[in-house]
Amino acid sequence: MLVLAAAAPACARLAIRRRRWRSAGRGGRPGGRQRGDAALAHAAWHELRDDLVDYGAGYLPSESPRALAARAGTSLGLAEPALAVLGRIALAEERARYAARPLSGAGLRQDSATIRRAIAAAVPRRTRWRARLMPSSVLTPALAAISQVADIFGRLNPEWFGRAPLDGARPDQARHGLGRRGTRLGGIRADRVSPTSTANGDPASRQEPPVAAGSRQ
């Protein structure tokens, strides 16, 4: 179990990568070649951003593709041909976003693998193994989702899952049908039974006082 748990993040990262490229490959079928090229460009771009997160370089959501490529190439100290590959991915994403006709997506998957190896070679060994075994692009969203679920359950009212106690009674009283103001006697609350009732709690069984012999007309 421990081995499976340790391998789960790496397997999840691999599954995400394969699904992303498979989905991009199917993207061009209904919408023509241009739509397929745009889908491949987006897949390469998302893979690049995830790789930067995994290997500790990160990215800013506000960064344009060209700005991110320039910053990543400088901070990681990448050289040719990795810089050229990084530039092709950034340019493909820009054209897919803003141009009427995107660049051809042929070779982008290979470019993505090339830049991943270049990024891995540019970071320390410890960072490299952490990126492979515990990729942050997988763990960070998972931990955020767990935190949100825990927060939701923490805000739930326990009374939503069961009937509230009767008249504010204690839980042990509510289980036995007892309220806060008194016990129940034969379906009638004891505090609502008339003091003149008999011991069995039936008001109809009260006896009227005897009438004196000379008082009846």
Radius of gyration of the chain (CA): 37
Confidence (pLDDT) at 29: 55
> What are the structural domain ranges in the chain?
9-135
- 134 phi-psi bin (left φ>0, alpha ψ -120 to 50, beta other): beta
DSSP 42: H
Q: Are 137 and 53 in contact (CB under 8 A)?
A: yes
* Residue 151, CA atoms < 13 Å, CB-side half-sphere: 6
CATH topology of domain 9-135: Four Helix Bundle (Hemerythrin (Met), subunit A) (1.20.120)
pLDDT at 6: 77
pLDDT digits (tens, 9 = 90+) for 149-208: 777 767 766 665 555 454 555 545 544 444 444 444 444 454 554 555 444 555 544 555
Q: State both tokens at 88.
A: 């092709």
Q: Please write the tens of the pLDDT for every residue from 63-107.
A: 999 999 999 999 999 999 999 999 999 999 999 999 999 999 999
Tokens of 37: 């090229």
User: Which amino acid does the sequence have at 173?
Assistant: Q
The answer to pTM > 0.75 is no
Q: What's the confidence (pLDDT) of residue 212?
A: 54
Report the distance separating Cα 205 and Cα 199, nearest Å: 10
